[in-house]
Chains A and B, each alone.
Chain A
Amino acid sequence: MTTITATPITVLAEETPPPAARRRRRRIRWGTWITLAVISLFGFAPVYWLLVTSLTPSDQVFAFPPTLFPKEVTFAHYATVFGNEAIFVYFRNSVIVSVITAVLSVIVSMYMGYAFSKYRFAGRKSLMYFVLSSQMFPQALLLVTLYLVFAQFGLLNTYLALILSFTTFTLPLCVWMLKGFFDALPDDLIEAARIDGAGPWRIFHSIVLPLAAPGLVAAGLFAFVRGWNDFIFALTLAGPDRQTLPPGLVNTFISEASTSWPALMAASLVVSVPVCIAFILLQRFLVGGITAGAVKG
């Protein structure tokens, strides 16, 4: 987890370093800095370019050589994005779908995670592996039939189609994350409540659930991001008036004869911001959950 600070590994060796070792360590320092510089350039230069393009006046964006450091800054492209009615509809759809997905996903996965954590039953192991491996089935393939199923029930072009799909695909990670939280709660606590005469329903909802609150928030945020970022399902299952931002932006910008790059970059930043905020809010839990969900298996 990122919050744990690494211990310096060469403390002891530093006391009496032989000359050869000292020289070697200096070389290592250089290697470290060069590696960091190269990877930073690769990692951050595109982000810089995203930001700069969205703030550069159009005449400079399409100039040669490219204006790496713009002389003036404009917010005109952001005005274009926020003034676009279609984008506002996509934004609203994204918020509705992602928020409901988050709530639904937390409800479904907290029950399932609790069952996996505190109950032993026939088929538990197989069911756990089924949940885990469901994220590995190719979504492009599922989508083909899912499209027909939703069409049959008249659910195409509805929020419900997107919410049900997204919720299901968040289950593997959310269930695992919450199972981890429930695992950490002592069994004696539940046993004590049972001896006091509390039924399983009450034990879960008034004793266990409040203790797992941080986990619920983390799982909800993850599900929100999953719904917010999805492309292929929103592209296929929803029409223009129900589409979320990712396919919406493709439809708005890419299908045009000439792409309005600065406006697209501005829109891209606007789409990315909620996700980054969601992550900053609960970085600790999310990193822990991702590590646990993916590796522990």
Chain B
Amino acid sequence: MTTSRVATPDAAARRTRGAPLSERTFLAFLLLPGIVLLCAIVLYPLIRSLISAFFDENLLYPGMTFVGLQNIIGVLTTEFGPLLTQTLIFTVGATVAPFILGLALALVLNQTFPGQRFLRGAFLIPWLIPGVVVSFLWMWIFDANYGVLNGILLSVGAIDSPIAWLFQTDTARVALIVAKTWNTFPWIMVMLLAALQTVPAELHEAAAMDGAGTVRRFFTVTWPHIRGVAGLVVLLEFIWNFQHFDTIFVLTGGGPAGTTNTFATEVYDTAFKGYDLGHAGALGILWMALLTVLVVVYVWLSERGEKGAHR
């Protein structure tokens, strides 16, 4: 083989320089549609809405006036604190709970028993269901008057009177996390199951013969093999939950009294119910700053993972 198309940066540079023009035109043609879409739908709106943060801009009146850091300072001194707390409560809860469930289920389904193949497929249902349906379903379960949760708890005598789960701050927060957990844990199970199948069976056998118990084997044999995937799954879930919108918007609408609002629902309400784009942009710039830290960690981790895989 004389010409290798992949491999060293050296060869890569040679290829691009020495390529006939038609190859280069073709490459541009390959990349252009995607780049145009990403710039128009992601990059431009992102930059534009961050610029709004420094202007007094409102859908109710035309034009924009430069106000410097006024919007951002306004957000920082008022709603930023509670909003960050509320977003973190949801994000941490909706990341940790499904991870524990997903890991437990993956460990169970990684064993051989009759019906295990069927269960692997069936457990994906909560994840496949559209997000809005997830919200409808849990809204119905948590319903104060006719909800099945109140019904069962009343029947067995655990509570004396129906609880308005979605209309009290604490229970509403838990309800959101429960609904999102139900929606997410199958995906985590799939990811961890895939990772579990890379664990060599011989290692388990050897450890078992040496007398290591299940718990010990999990931490010394299994965990080191799935640690990489587990870390990325948790990080991705954290990033996604940090900007999650659907469940919160439909299930509680940020209520009661805004105590389950997160950055996502607050930005949406500020822009589309309050029409205040400057304020929404200010919220957005702070939100993005926090997200960027997470994304940088993600890119760094997956970069490291890729290098490890190539070694």
Seen from chain A, the residues whose Cβ lies within 8 Å of a Cβ on chain B are: 1-2, 4-13, 21, 24, 28, 32, 35-36, 39-40, 42-44, 46-47, 49-50, 53, 61-62, 64-66, 68, 107-109, 111-112, 114-115, 118-122, 127, 129-134, 136-149, 164-165, 167-169, 171, 175, 187-188, 190-191, 199-201, 204, 225, 228-229, 231-232, 236, 245-247, 249-250, 253-254, 259, 261, 264-265, 268, 271-272, 275-276, 279-280, 283, 287, 290-291, 294-297
Residues on the A chain within 8 Å of B208, using CB: 9-10, 12-13
Minimum Cβ distance to chain B for residue A213 (Å): 18
Bound-state CA distance A64–B148 (Å) is 9
Tell whether, in the assembled complex, residue A108 and residue B44 are in contact, meaning their CB atoms are under 8 Å apart: no
- B16 is contacted by which of A120, A131, A137, A167 (Cβ under 8 Å)? A120
> Which one of A119, A130, A201 contacts B38 once the chains associate, using CB atoms below 8 Å?
A130
Q: Is the contact region of chain A dominated by helix, strand, or loop, or is it mixed?
A: helix
Question: Do residues A66 and B268 form an inter-chain contact, with CB atoms below 8 A?
Answer: no
In this complex, what residue of B is CB-closest to A145?
B45
- Across-interface contacts of A140 in B (CB, < 8 A): 243, 245, 263-265, 267-268
Cross-chain contact B131 with A120 (CB below 8 angstroms): no
B48 interface residue (CB < 8 Å to A)? yes
Task: Give the most central of A115, A121, A144: most B CB within 10 Å.
Answer: A144
When C-beta atoms are compared, the residue in chain A nearest to B287 turns out to be A138
A21–B216 CA distance with the chains assembled, in angstroms: 14
Q: Known: A53-B140, A200-B22. Contact between A136 and B38, CB under 8 A?
A: no
Interface residue stretch chosen among B66-74, B76-84, B107-115 = B107-115
**Are A297 and B1 interface neighbours, CB within 8 A?**
no
Binding site for A on B (CB under 8 A): 1, 3-6, 9, 11-13, 15-16, 22-23, 26-27, 29-31, 33-35, 37-38, 40-46, 48-49, 52, 101, 104-105, 108, 110-112, 117, 119-126, 128-133, 136-138, 140-141, 143, 146, 148, 151-152, 154-155, 182, 185-187, 190-191, 193-194, 196-197, 201, 204-205, 208-209, 211, 213-214, 229, 232-233, 236, 239-240, 243, 245-246, 249-250, 263-265, 267-268, 271-272, 277, 280-281, 284, 287-288, 291, 294-295, 298-299, 301-303, 305-306, 309
Shortest C-beta distance, A95 to chain B (Å), equals: 14
Query: Closest CB-CB distance, B47 to chain A, in whole Å?
Result: 9
Chain A residues whose C-beta falls within 8 Å of the C-beta of B41 in the assembled complex: 142, 146, 164-165, 168-169
Report yes or no: B140 in contact with A264, Cβ–Cβ below 8 A. yes
Alpha-carbon distance A121/B19, docked complex (angstroms): 11
In the complex, A200 Cα to B48 Cα: how many Å? Answer: 38
**B197: which A residues are within 8 A, CB to CB?**
1, 4, 6
From the candidates A13, A108, A118, name the one contacting B34 in the complex (CB within 8 A): A108
Which B residues lie within 8 Å of A264 (CB)?
A: 136, 140
CA distance A254 to B131 in the complex (A): 15
